[in-house]
Structure 1
Amino acid sequence: MTTVAVVAHAGKSFGGGLGELRRVLDDAGFPEPLWYEVAKSRQAPKCARQAMADGADVLFVWGGDGTVQRCIDAVAGTGAVVALLPAGTANLLATNLGIPQDIGEAVEIGLHGDRRSLDTGTVNGERFTVMAGAGLDALMIKDADAGLKDRFGRAAYLWTGARNLKASPVRATVTVEGRRFHKGNVTCVLVGNVKDVFGGIEVFDGSRPDDGLLEIGIVTAKSLRQWVRTLGRVVLGRTERSPFVVTTRGKKMRVRFDRPIAYELDGGVRKATKDLRIKVRPKSITVCVPGPGFPAQAG
């Protein structure tokens, strides 16, 4: 019989909350799943590893992209099967894969949906599934962490993004597959594993989470006017036409800055560094996705 485990960020919720999740699992024939609740996403990896050691066949992760990222970082490459329960602010991986914000439907997908092997990326050895970024992207997320996301949801990112538009550029050298791709001032470096990295906006057109490649975008816009032009092109799906953006794709990348700056993985900010070593890990995690009977948005 299938052994089901739940790793839940207790501070996140959707639908009827964790009580409804227990009822849905009970109705589906799993009255006593392995159950682990955490107060912070950084506590989730230990629980995810314990769930696998305890024999979990399907690992349900309740939380946002940060909780999902930490769980996948812990169990990728072990044969784990991860099911997403999108209880966070952005839920970008769930959105890209067509996972609905309905507890019953999300559980159904976890128990009976298709299994899809996805790529992960690594930055300095730590995995991500959606995106990684440095510069304005990381500043925006860092400022939004201070309680704003809980109060204002996605609007918090708009507010903190606007406040950081005048952030000073940083000089960077970017190599892709060992060849120089860019050298000069940048205001944002963004690496993506999926098309949609900003909630409904397809930044990296044509990107797939199982194509064995990562996308990278370098933004050089520095004034408010330049940023407005750049974001306008992005919203219209014309990122490649912006004079302040260059993009490419590859399996291995490196970004070296002239001073330490913070970076983020799937919405979680990490300590400042001068060096980002980025690699793709092809088909390194299995995730439950909608089968033919579900409306799918998977890229």
Structure 2
Amino acid sequence: MHVLAVLNRNGGTLRTLDTDALAEEIRDIFETAGHSIEVRLCSGKNIVSMMEEAASDENADVLLAGGGDGTISLAAGLLAHSEKALAILPAGTMNLFARSLGIPQDLQAAMQALAQGSIRRVDIAEADGTFYVHQLSIGMHPQLIRLRERMEFRSRVGKIIASVRAAIATMVRPPKLELELELPETKMLATTSNLAVTNNLYGEGQRLPFTDRPDGGQLGIYITHARTRAEMLLFFLNMGIGRWRKNEQVEIHQANEVTVRVRSGTQRFKCAIDGELRPLPRETRIVLHPKALRVLAPKQESSLS
């Protein structure tokens, strides 16, 4: 198997590491496992062109992407519906998609597991032509990201602290959205402080919101009804212990597609797609593409070739 690795020097925790030494370690681990590998290092400003070039490289069987969640989402979108597989070096803050694939969070352990791993097919979601691996969100989450980006931090811990501060500020003044949701078999109106459309349902009982079935074949549609500070506090507490299905502040639906229409007057909102802020159109169609992404993941009994 020929692996082409692209490491974003400015992405996630890689910005604090010696990426040249890391590249050498990746080569050693994959070559010892019997693979051929080429490692390319780039800066954040060149990541899009470098990823596009790597995704179109006919000699590579696997594209190994190293960086934050934005880097991983970019690579996944380029590989959707192709025969090239995605491997993830989890160097972000949360690494939610990597967690859903069972990839260890320690970089060396992740490299070892991937070098001994196997190819499987998982789902990927798409919003008006933009593919994503974790979630599209409207409301509190984009507001939290916007507030966090105004703060200064230089490390993973600093980013977590900034996220907590931004979450508290968001909880005090949550947004209010009027939405229309059209699912294949129903249409509904929703007044919400946050809408999340996820690439498969979150696992129950997990401290972080990620799916434990990346090939489950359904979008998760999470409508948050919490509005008061007490309701917000309860919502975040439940989220912190991974309680979704029994969370009275959240209404959950699942479907293979949903159209979201914003009915909140002339106020402009943004959405977040895999943690990256983007403009929010008045109407967005979101579709799940079942098993449209090939991934290199740690071996498991249910792995599919």
TM-score normalised to the size of structure 2? Answer: 0.84
Task: Tell me whether 1:214 sits opposite 2:222 in the alignment.
Answer: no
Provide the rounded CA distance (Å) in 2 between the counterparts of 1:67 and 1:149. 19
Match of residue 173 from structure 1: 180
Q: Report the Cα offset of residue 221 of structure 1.
A: 1.2
Q: Contact 1:256 / 1:274 at 8 angstroms: preserved in 2?
A: yes
Distance 1:33 1:179, change over 3 A: same
Q: Report the Cα offset of residue 236 of structure 1.
A: 3.8
Match of residue 117 from structure 2: 113
Provide the rounded CA distance (Å) in 2 between the counterparts of 1:48 and 1:76. 13
Q: Report the Cα offset of residue 194 of structure 1.
A: 4.7
* Matched position secondary structure for 2:142: helix
Provide the rounded CA distance (Å) in 2 between the counterparts of 1:207 and 1:175. 26
Provide the rounded CA distance (Å) in 2 between the counterparts of 1:102 and 1:124. 34
Provide the rounded CA distance (Å) in 1 between the counterparts of 2:254 and 2:88. 27
Q: Report the Cα offset of residue 148 of structure 1.
A: 4.2
Provide the rounded CA distance (Å) in 2 between the counterparts of 1:32 and 1:114. 16
Match of residue 19 from structure 2: 18
Q: Report the Cα offset of residue 90 of structure 1.
A: 1.4
Q: Contact 1:25 / 1:31 at 8 angstroms: preserved in 2?
A: no
Provide the rounded CA distance (Å) in 2 between the counterparts of 1:23 and 1:203. 33
Out of 265, 270, 274, the residue aligned to residue 282 of structure 2 is 274
Task: Tell me whether 1:59 sits opposite 2:58 in the alignment.
Answer: no
Distance 1:98 1:20, change over 3 A: farther
Q: Report the Cα offset of residue 124 of structure 1.
A: 1.7
State the percentage of identical aligned residues.
23
My pick for the range that moved more, 214-223 or 232-241, is 232-241
Match of residue 139 from structure 1: 143
Out of 38, 46, 50, the residue aligned to residue 49 of structure 2 is 46
Q: Report the Cα offset of residue 47 of structure 1.
A: 1.9
Task: Tell me whether 1:153 sits opposite 2:159 in the alignment.
Answer: yes
Distance 1:291 1:179, change over 3 A: same
Distance 1:147 1:19, change over 3 A: farther
Provide the rounded CA distance (Å) in 2 between the counterparts of 1:292 and 1:282. 20
Provide the rounded CA distance (Å) in 2 between the counterparts of 1:290 and 1:208. 15
Match of residue 81 from structure 1: 85
* Matched position secondary structure for 1:150: coil
Match of residue 245 from structure 2: 240
Out of 257, 267, 271, the residue aligned to residue 263 of structure 1 is 271
TM-score normalised to the size of structure 1? Answer: 0.86
Letter in 1 for 2:244: T
Residue segments in structure 2 that go unaligned for 5+ positions in a row: none
Provide the rounded CA distance (Å) in 1 between the counterparts of 2:37 and 2:259. 46
Number of residue pairs matched? 289
Q: Report the Cα offset of residue 110 of structure 1.
A: 2.9
* Matched position secondary structure for 2:65: strand
* RMSD across aligned positions (CA): 2.8
Q: Contact 1:256 / 1:276 at 8 angstroms: preserved in 2?
A: yes
Q: Report the Cα offset of residue 249 of structure 1.
A: 0.5
Q: Report the Cα offset of residue 21 of structure 1.
A: 2.4
Distance 1:70 1:147, change over 3 A: farther
Provide the rounded CA distance (Å) in 1 between the counterparts of 2:250 and 2:215. 24
Match of residue 201 from structure 1: 207
The structure 1 segments of at least 4 consecutive aligned residues displaced by more than 4 Å after TM superposition are 194-197
Q: Contact 2:192 / 2:225 at 8 angstroms: preserved in 1?
A: yes
Q: Contact 2:135 / 2:197 at 8 angstroms: preserved in 1?
A: yes
Q: Report the Cα offset of residue 68 of structure 1.
A: 0.4
* Matched position secondary structure for 1:20: helix
* Per-residue Cα deviation, 1:145-199 (whole angstroms, up to 9, x for no partner): 345453412232221121122133111111222511x3132110011225559x9
Q: Contact 2:125 / 2:199 at 8 angstroms: preserved in 1?
A: yes
- Map 1:1-16 to 2 at 5 A: 2-12=1-11, 13-14=13-14
Distance 1:168 1:53, change over 3 A: closer
My pick for the range that moved more, 233-242 or 251-260, is 233-242
Q: Contact 1:44 / 1:70 at 8 angstroms: preserved in 2?
A: no
Letter in 2 for 1:171: E
